[in-house]
Amino acid sequence: MRTGTTEKMRKNCWEHFRAEIKILEPTLIFFHGDKPRESFLENLHREGVQSRPLLIGNTWEDLCRKVEWKGPNFPHPFESVLLFYHHPAYGHFFREWESRVVPVLNELRKERVLPILSNTWLSLTKTDWPTG
């Protein structure tokens, strides 16, 4: 499937998306498809926002990056984990959930990159996360 977006549309989308990220300060952002990854990473680079691949288990996972939101557009620095998967229209995301997504999320929790949830599905504070 191909997208009909133009460079101008992607730039305008970035302006709105950046404002949303600034307000929500998300811990985890899922992207679906290759085009969003390319455009998003280009915008990060253009603004001087740092991102880097995350080590998951014993391999570098191209589909997982960490972003440090700081600079003039982000007065309260924070970090987000980005996960890039196939577009759900292809059906891959559903099929990949147990085999690819869950292990990545569990590894990121084990490495203390993502929060661990309590039995009531509330996020534990970082000081409450298990260490071992």
Indicate whether 88 belongs to any domain.
Answer: yes
41-69 burial, b if ≥16 CB within 10 A, otherwise e?
Answer: bebbeeeebebeebebeeeebebbbebeb
Quote the pLDDT of residue 2: 57
Indicate whether 1 belongs to any domain.
Answer: no
| CA distance linking residue 70 with residue 128, whole number of Å | 26
Indicate whether 48 belongs to any domain.
Answer: yes
Indicate whether 2 belongs to any domain.
Answer: no
Structural domains of the chain, count: 1
pLDDT digits (tens, 9 = 90+) for 104-123: 888 888 877 887 765 555 56
Indicate whether 77 belongs to any domain.
Answer: yes
Q: Name the token pair of 20.
A: 């949303």
Whether the pLDDT of residue 18 is over 60: the answer is yes
Indicate whether 30 belongs to any domain.
Answer: yes
Q: What does pTM read for this prediction? A: 0.73
Indicate whether 58 belongs to any domain.
Answer: yes
Range(s) of the domain holding residue 56: 7-128
Q: Give the residue with greater pLDDT, 57 vs 40.
A: 40
Yes or no: say if 115 and 126 are a contact pair by the CB < 8 Å rule: yes
